[in-house]
């Protein structure tokens, strides 16, 4: 699926092996700096995009499908070189380390110097919505409506160049307020929630801006 936008700008890929990739494609549709949007399923498609969004879904299934499609190593190479944003399961995939995995663990792409805990908040019925602030990204007074579904959180930051973009602002179940739910490290960004399930595309705009700046 390709959507043409302007004659100049970036080509954004959305990994389409599993998960909520169509919702991300719809969120990107009206961003003027987006030249094309490509649902990425093959190495050739991956090589044709300037940046990549790894959507929410089921990280174990996503990794297994990527391995079966011979996409794991191309993805690992891509995320170390080009702007990539992981949302929910995508954040798990980008992490260097994950806890709470099923028996036997799972394949990760790595590249982001964090440790995450999978399914931090419990099962599907424990999903919730909350407002988050992104002061360095969206401004102090412009909160973002965040949707958390079987979401991970960041339990450790392993490098000084990882920037915290947002934290929970109140306790949720057994998870403390101030828990980190969004970070950026250079050309990599990760959010624990599903920004594609809202009508607010400001984080998508920010990621596209990241990609434009990276390509200059």
| pLDDT tens readout for residues 107-152 | 999 999 999 999 898 778 889 999 999 999 998 888 999 999 999 9
How large is the average pLDDT for residues 170-199?
94
So where are the chain's domains? 2-215
**CATH architecture, domain defined by 2-215:** 3-Layer(aba) Sandwich (3.40)
How large is the average pLDDT for residues 85-92?
96
How large is the average pLDDT for residues 55-81?
94
Q: Write out the catalytic residue numbers.
A: 88, 194, 196
Q: Are 115 and 153 in contact (CB under 8 A)?
A: no
Q: Is 150 annotated as a binding residue?
A: yes
- Asked if residue 78 has pLDDT above 70, the reply is yes
> Rounded to a whole number, what is the largest CA-CA distance in the chain?
49
C-alpha dist (Å) from residue 137 to 71, 77, 158, 214? 31, 27, 22, 16
Q: Is 118 annotated as a binding residue?
A: yes
- DSSP letters, 163-188, are EEEEE-SS-BTTBPTT-EEEEEETTE
Beta bridge partners of 185: 188
pTM for this entry: 0.93
Q: Is 8 annotated as a binding residue?
A: no
Note the pLDDT tens digit of each residue in 141-159.
889 999 999 999 999 999 9
Predicted pLDDT of residue 2? 36
Predicted pLDDT of residue 103? 63
Q: Is 184 annotated as a binding residue?
A: no
């Amino acid at each position: 699926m390709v959507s043409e936008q302007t004659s100049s700008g970036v080509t954004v890929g959305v990994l389409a092996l599993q998960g909520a990739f169509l919702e991300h494609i719809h969120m990107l549709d009206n961003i003027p700096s987006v030249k094309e949007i490509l649902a990425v399923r093959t190495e050739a498609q991956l090589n044709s995009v300037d940046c990549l969004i790894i959507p929410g879904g089921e990280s174990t299934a996503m990794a297994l499908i990527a391995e079966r499609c011979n996409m794991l190593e191309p993805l690992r190479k891509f995320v170390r070189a080009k702007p990539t944003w992981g949302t929910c399961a995508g954040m798990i995939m980008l992490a260097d380390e994950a806890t709470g995995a099923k028996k036997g663990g799972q394949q990760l792409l790595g590249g982001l110097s964090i440790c995450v805990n999978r399914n931090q908040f419990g099962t599907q019925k424990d999903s919730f919505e909350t407002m988050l602030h992104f002061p360095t990204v969206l401004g102090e007074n412009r909160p973002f409506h965040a949707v958390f579904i079987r979401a991970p959180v960041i339990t450790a930051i392993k490098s000084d160049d990882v920037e915290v973009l947002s934290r929970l602002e109140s306790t949720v179940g057994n998870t403390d307020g101030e828990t980190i739910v969004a970070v950026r490290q250079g050309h990599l960004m990760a959010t624990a929630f599903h920004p594609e399930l809202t009508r607010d595309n400001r984080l998508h705009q920010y990621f596209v801006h990241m990609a434009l700046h990276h390509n200059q």
